[in-house]
Structure 1
């Protein structure tokens, strides 16, 4: 089991200025960090990767499907081709930091809705784009983890069953889905029952409280999640994803209108203790 922390709590683009934060996470006991990949070139991430490697810090990458002519479920062939090129960029950036997982909701642009659920054609188009991306990622040692989001953020992929079915349609050994406690707390009848049901398709895990704040301070029963993951044989990353109001653009995207914690230390220190002790107790 590897414990990680998503740097989106502090920044949407990691630079040298964020290194003190990374050092604090390492000192707390995290095995690695999740690097937001929304901009920049591969050379930028290669530089970051060298510094991470020198410090003995592992990493994963996370990105989105940005829209603006890039959409993996679009009926427009050019938009799907652009979506694939974007995914190749995300994969290359993840390889550049030495990461093993490229994760995120890279199926449709966030906040776009059709007024209905996904169509059979949209699912088939997404599977085709993601299959090509997985083929590209395989020689680089990268596993893709597509992320279902709750119904208020997207319409294409909301549930564990939908995600597992998409993974089966893609049919690549290095392609799975990202299990996120925040989204499934909204969408699933049971956030634990879906774990054994879809464990073969889970390639990444996000630990996130019901209000996106301090893990363990809300109402999600994380111990039951740890129990289900361990019982099902999961042994990948468990990465905390939390958000604050410090970054206006990110706060607007994640709908964080009020302070959710007093100190950043409360999030990453309590979060690490929650995951480490919870996993050790899991049975």
Structure 2
């Protein structure tokens, strides 16, 4: 290697080793643990597929995994659908000198603790919370609504709010990159606002939409704090079972097995989505 190559490898080595130590090593440890078994404090390091057989055959684990994918999909759909109009408005209808201010306002939720935001939603959606009190006070309902909290609905609402900025920002960046002369050309050719949006703006903004979907879906399926606080028994996800296996049942190999399966499911879904939307992202 010449001097430039050695200098390049010297610069790449520290971050590569750092990423290897903090990402690859824990993942490899989890993978190895998944092939072991544990009896309270005793870990049997004999390689076995018993944990995977139990995870696949046990209906409880299948139900939690299916619920996790469903909730993550609903959260992603709600977040992206609600985030797109916000990003579109900021990109096309806000004065260029004030766009930074709008983006600043969008990121304000990050100033507060994630746990604090979840607890605030408990206050809003609770049986005697803000929403029920307001509806009761206005005479719209006679009794407080019971389906707002401690179920899947509360998990979807809370997660959609928490991940909204993650969806708005990539869509906004994609919209900002669109050449406005293309929209003018579409108008000159006789297309209306709706057809211009559907045939020009939306396809060109698809890379941002795909990025928003992945950014929201991947961490959502592994969230365990929100389901534990606002989900109740019917809103728990696979991540809560993983936490229980590690901390409650003291069965680390089974927790590692569920984590590996969850990662594989997320990877397959994400790759399938990328392949399906590849022709739009290439455009």
Shorter-chain TM range is: under 0.3
| Greater relative CO (CA pairs within 8 A, separation 6+) | 2
Normalising by structure 2, we get a TM-score of 0.24
Structure with bigger strand share is: 1
Give 1 or 2 for the bigger CA radius of gyration: 2
Normalising by structure 1, we get a TM-score of 0.24
Structure with bigger helix share is: 2
